[in-house]
Structures are given as structure tokens and as C-alpha cells.
Chain A
Amino acid sequence: MATLSTDLNYLQAKKGLFSWIFSVDHKRIGLLYLYSLMTFFLVGVTLGILMRLELLNPGKDLVEAKTYNQIFTLHGVIMIFLFIIPSIPAVFGNFFLPIMLGTDDVSFPRLNLLSWWIYIIGAIMALSTLLFGDGPADTGWTFYAPYSVKTGTNVTMSVLAAFVLGFSSILTGLNFIVTIHRLKTPGMTFLKMPLFAWALYATSWIQLLATPIIGITLMMIVAERFFGVGLFDPSIGGDPILYQHLFWIYSHPAVYIMALPAFGIISELLPTFSQRTIFGYKAIAFSSLAIAFVGYFIWGHHMFTSGMSGTGRFIFSILTFLVAIPTAIKVFNWVATLYKGSINVQTPLLYALAFIFQFMIGGFTGLVLGALATDIHLHDTYFVVGHFHYVMFGGTGFAFFGALHYWFPKMWGKMYNATVANIAFVILFIGFNTLYFPMLIAGLMGMPRRYYDYLPEFHLPNMISTFGSWILATGLLLMLGNLIYAYFNSKTKPGRNPWGGITLEWQTQSPPPVQNFDRMPVLPKDGPYDFEHKPTIKE
């Protein structure tokens, strides 16, 4: 062995704050994202718990109507723009995409660092709305015109923050696409890439091609607030629904920016913990692209009750149902992967199974909302709130936590206490479903969303829901506490491949060296999940 300095892993290689915040190492940037994301996530969770507290009983408990509006807007802006959209790509994509492709970094390492800085600037802008003027925006995260043009709250700053964050998202997507095209290790073709890379590829295309539309739309809102022309005002020939079109042309594909990487994570977890090849590799890979593509054309289903033309509603409804096909293909393939596998029940697998369960509830309720007739009844009720939390949190959030438990030993070279992690999972799972399932019922009963108050007949589901939020918070704290404890105190060295995984990141040391590999990674013979010809990994 040669000199010590080059044998240090990426965590030890350099010391000091500046070696982190100006690092161009994709692994360190991934961790920077992780730490900042989790901070904002906890702020968002706190806001969510505040809302649930207000809704514990009918009438005003804690906050005024306007404050409540500001809280749910900020909760939405933080959770969507600061947490879910960057979550899996920016943290695990940054950290593992290059390793899974068998290279040492993304194609544009400095651009990657710039993305993180832009993200931080955007985050500071978003949170700064708390501090000056009339407080955070009270429009809802959708910033619908004309209210967003007229309200006195800090809409301009929130909107600019979303614009800046979008820019960060575009740059990450751009970087990943070029990396996937240019830096696959020799012998790895597109069809031998891990499915997580495929999911990131599809996601990156959405980030790249959808985000500019919201950018320009938000700029129009800013210009409107500045000049006050009434670009979306019917009295001078404008149309407020056009704003909604433009907004959802981005924001619907953005749903797939949030969901597709989670699909990628699940497609990694299931083969590893059932020790067999993924069922339908190509079907899963191409369905990601299909979802990304069809996902562009179904934005209108957010606007069925807006006064859009009947023909428009009809077309958007049909297209919406189309997207269920590739999604269902994925679910069937995942379930088929488990069949006759040698299943090893570990914490990450539990998260993956919870994902499938909760995502299916989210998906089916989505079909209910995609149908024109039922949507008229359910639009803007708590059914919608329940639906998208099942998809976003129950889906992507759980996949994120699953990935965190899956790759924790690789990222830090330490192992957490599995029993505590499993207990935390159970609490989280129960808390999640107690929190959001009653929302579906309250919505069916007709409870409208976005009010700080409700009629007495909705009391029971709301009370259960608020109890659920406390259980969920307990689970979250226990889960994070367990991981943080392991980070500081764990003495267990997990070795290169604690789970018996097959993708390339398991062939290197834990934590990986600065250049990711200490020896040439070996590709399995037939595709990335060929467990029958798994390369033997020496420590």
C-alpha cells in the first residue's frame, strides 16, 4: 500500500467547512444536499403539525385565518420546492449515479456545486418571506392569478425563490443527462444501466424541459405585480385560466420529478432484498420514459372545474388514464420480483413494501380524481390532500427514507441499530396512515381544503388525523435519532457489501474513496441484476 493520504475516504480526505461547501466531489455535494434538505424538511414538518393542531377542533384554536393560509402556503413551498423535488435526485442521485455508472464524478462537477449554491440561495429567499413585510405568501403554493397579483403578502419573493430553485433543478438535470450519456464505464450500455440511473435519466429530462415553463410563468407574475397590467385579467382581454395552464404544464410533470426517482429506488431495493434479478428490466426502464413523456400532456386534469372547455376536459381525462398504464406495469413487475425470491426482511425492504402499499392507495385515488364526474365532487376537498400526500409522502418520502437506510452503511461506513430502525418504521407507517387516511374520508364527506375551520360533522376524521400527526412525528424523530446516533457512535463496520447488493456501489469501500473505486468495477455477466453471475467481492 502506498502513502496514506491517497487511501483516505471521501469523508476524511479534506477537513474544514470550506472543504465541504466548495467541494466539487459529487459525494460531498450529495451530503450537502442531504443536510440542507433535511433541515428544511423538519421546518416543513413543523408547519404541517401546526396546521393539524389548528384543525384538531372546529373553530379557531391557534392561528388566524390569514396566518393559516400563510402556513399552508409555506408548508407547500418548502415541501415541494425545497424537499421533494430535489430530494432523491440531488442526494442519492448525486451520490450514487456516478458510482453506479462506474465513474468518479458527474460530467460537470463545478456546475454541480453551483446547483447546490443556487439551491441554498433559493431556500434563503423562500424562508426570508417570514421576516419582512406582510409575511409569507398566502396564495397556496400554486400562486394562482389573479389573487397572487393582488395580495399584499410577499408573493414576489416566494415566486422569485421558486424561479431560482427551478434553475438549480435544471442544472442538476442537465448534469445527469450528460453524465449518463458520457461517463458509463466501458461495457455498460444503456440497457445495462441500473434502474435507478434509468429513473434519474427520465427525471432529468422532465427537470430540463418542464421547469423553464414555470420559470417564465412566474416571471410574468412578478412583472404583473410590478406593472399591474392585468395580463390574466379578462376585462382587458386576458384569461386567468391561461395562468393555470402554464402553471400546470410544469407542475404536473413536476409530480413525476418527485415520483420517478422513487420508482428507481424501489427498483434497486427489491432485487437486493430478494436476491434475484428484477422482473421485466426493460419494461421498468422504458415505462419510466413513457411516464415522463405522457406526463407532459395531462396537466389539464388539475383544472377540470376551472371553466375549461368540455373537449379539453375530456381529452385531458383520457390522457390521465393513460399514465396509469406504465405506472401499473412498474407495480406488477415489483411484485413479480418478490415472487420466489429469497427475501431478506431488512429495514430498507420494509420501506419499499410500505411504498408499494401507500403508492397504490395514492395511485388509485388519483384515478378517482382523474375521472371527470367524480372530480367535480372531490375537487378541492381533503380527498385531494389525502391523495397527494399518499403519493408524495407515502410514496416518495418513504422511498427516500428507504434509500437512506439502504445506503447509510455505504455513505458513512457505519451501521445503524436495525431493531430501532424497524420500530421507527412501524411507528412511522402507522402514523402516516392514521394521519392521511381520514383525510380521504373527510374529503368524500365533502370537507373543503385550505380552510382553518370546518363544520362540526368533520370533527372525528380531523381529530384522528391530528393524533396521527403526533405518531408520525414520533416515528420521524426516532428514525432520524437512530441514524444520527449511529453516525456518531456506531462501531460496526459494515464492509463493502452488507446487503449482498449487485450494483457497482457495493464493489467499492464503505465509505468510498475520493475517486470512488480502488479497483476496476466488474459488471455482472447478463445485465445489472444478474444475481446468478454475481461478481465475488473481496474486502
Chain B
Amino acid sequence: MENNTKKHEGDLHETQHISSYKQHFSTLVALLLLTVVTVAISVFGANLRTLSVATALLIATVKVIVVAYYFMHLKYDHKLYTWLIMIVGLLFVVFTALTSIEYFNR
């Protein structure tokens, strides 16, 4: 099997990193804590209004980064993936920004 896999110069696959069970569990705990925070802010901080939307989205983004970084293994992958994801994220942010600028100024 081994000699069938390709060899590249600058191969993206240097050494396969194995995440530990413990690390996965800690990641889950962190995510659950963030969920508790976001629900609490929404239920008990109802008078924050627009601020609560911003915090909700901020916390969601933090959660997404945690999932991508640890569960999806980005931390140990080639940096290329992180760059690509950031570009895709940027693209979507600009889409929403341009659209909302348009609507805000109607």
C-alpha cells in the first residue's frame, strides 16, 4: 500500500497528527459553556437588543472556529486550508456587507 501512495515535493501530508480523546472532550466542554452563555444572554438580557444579535453572532463564530480548529483538525493541517477558509469567510462577509450597505441606505 505504501509505495502506491504518491510522493510529492512539498507534500502537504507530513506526519499524521492524532488528537487525543481528552482534547476532544475538553473541546466539547468549551463548546457547551459557550452555548450556555449565548442562551443565557438571550433569555436574561432581552433588553440588550441589537447588542444581543452581535454577541450571539460573535459567540457563534467563536464556536465555529473552535469546531473547525480542533474537531475538523485545522490546527494540525497544512496552513493552506486555514487560508482558504479565511478567504471563503471573507468573501461571504463582503457579500453580506455590500448587500446590507445597499439596504441600509434605501
Interface residues of A (CB under 8 A from B): 181-182, 186, 209, 245, 249, 296-297, 300, 308-312, 315-316
Verify A300–B106 contact, CB threshold 8 A: no
Q: Which residues of chain A are within 8 angstroms of B94 by Cβ–Cβ distance?
A: 296-297
Q: Looking at B8, B88, B102, B106, which has the most chain A CB atoms within 10 Å of its CB? A: B102
Partner among B88, B95, B101 whose Cβ is within 8 Å of the Cβ of A315: B101
Since A309-B103, A309-B104, A310-B105 are in contact, a sample of 14 more A-B pairs with Cβ atoms closer than 8 Å, ordered by chain A residue number, is A186-B9, A209-B88, A245-B99, A245-B102, A249-B95, A296-B91, A297-B98, A300-B102, A308-B102, A311-B101, A311-B105, A312-B98, A315-B102, A316-B98
CA distance A419 to B86 in the complex (A): 52
Determine if B98 and A309 form an interchain contact, defined as CB atoms under 8 angstroms apart. Answer: no
For the complex, give the distance between the alpha carbons of A181 and B95 in Å: 27
- Residues of A contacting B91 in the complex (Cβ-Cβ under 8 angstroms): 209, 296
Chain A, interface SS category: helix
Q: How far is the CB of B43 from chain A (nearest CB, A)?
A: 26
Q: Are B9 and A312 in contact (CB under 8 A)?
A: no
What are 20 inter-chain pairs, A to B, with CB distance below 8 A? Answer: A181-B80, A182-B6, A182-B8, A186-B8, A186-B9, A209-B91, A245-B99, A296-B94, A296-B95, A297-B94, A300-B98, A300-B102, A308-B102, A309-B105, A309-B106, A310-B105, A311-B101, A312-B102, A315-B101, A316-B98
Q: Chain B, 77-106, contact with A by CB distance < 8 Å: what is the 0/1 string?
A: 000100000001001001100110111111
Distance in angstroms between the alpha carbons of A181 and B9 in the assembled complex: 12
* Min CB gap B32→A, angstroms: 31
Q: Which of A186, A296, A297, A309 contacts B102 (CB 8 A)?
A: A309
B82 CB to closest chain A CB (Å) equals: 15
Instruction: Tell me which residues across on chain A come within 8 A of B104, comparing CB atoms.
Output: 309
Return A181 CB to nearest CB of chain B, in Å. 8
Query: Complex Cα distance A289/B80, Å?
Result: 16
Contacts of A296 in B (CB 8 A): 91, 94-95
With a CB–CB cut-off of 8 A, which chain B residues contact A209?
88, 91
The answer for the CA separation of A300 and B103 in the assembled complex, in Å, is 12
**Residue ID in chain A nearest B10 by CB atoms:** A189
* Residue among B6, B8, B9, B105 with max Cβ neighbours from chain A (10 Å): B105
A312 to B9, CA, bound (A): 47
**Cα A315 to Cα B99 with chains together (Å):** 11
Give A445 to B61 CA distance when docked, in angstroms: 53
Which residues on the A side are within 8 Å of B9 (C-beta)? 186
- Docked Cα-Cα span, A308 to B105, in Å, equals 9
A106 to chain B, nearest CB (A): 14
- In angstroms, how far is the closest chain B Cβ from the Cβ of A291? 15
A108 to chain B, nearest CB (A): 14
Q: A417: shortest Cβ distance to chain B, in Å?
A: 44
Q: A182-B8, A249-B95, A297-B94 are in contact. Are A312 and B88 (CB under 8 A)?
A: no
Within the complex, the shortest CB–CB distance from B7 to chain A, in Å, comes to 9
- Please, how many angstroms separate the alpha-carbon atoms of A300 and B99 in the complex? 9
Across-interface contacts of B105 in A (CB, < 8 A):
309-312
Q: In whole angstroms, how far apart are the Cα atoms of A181 and B94 in the complex?
A: 26
CB-defined contacts of A316 to chain B, threshold 8 Å:
98
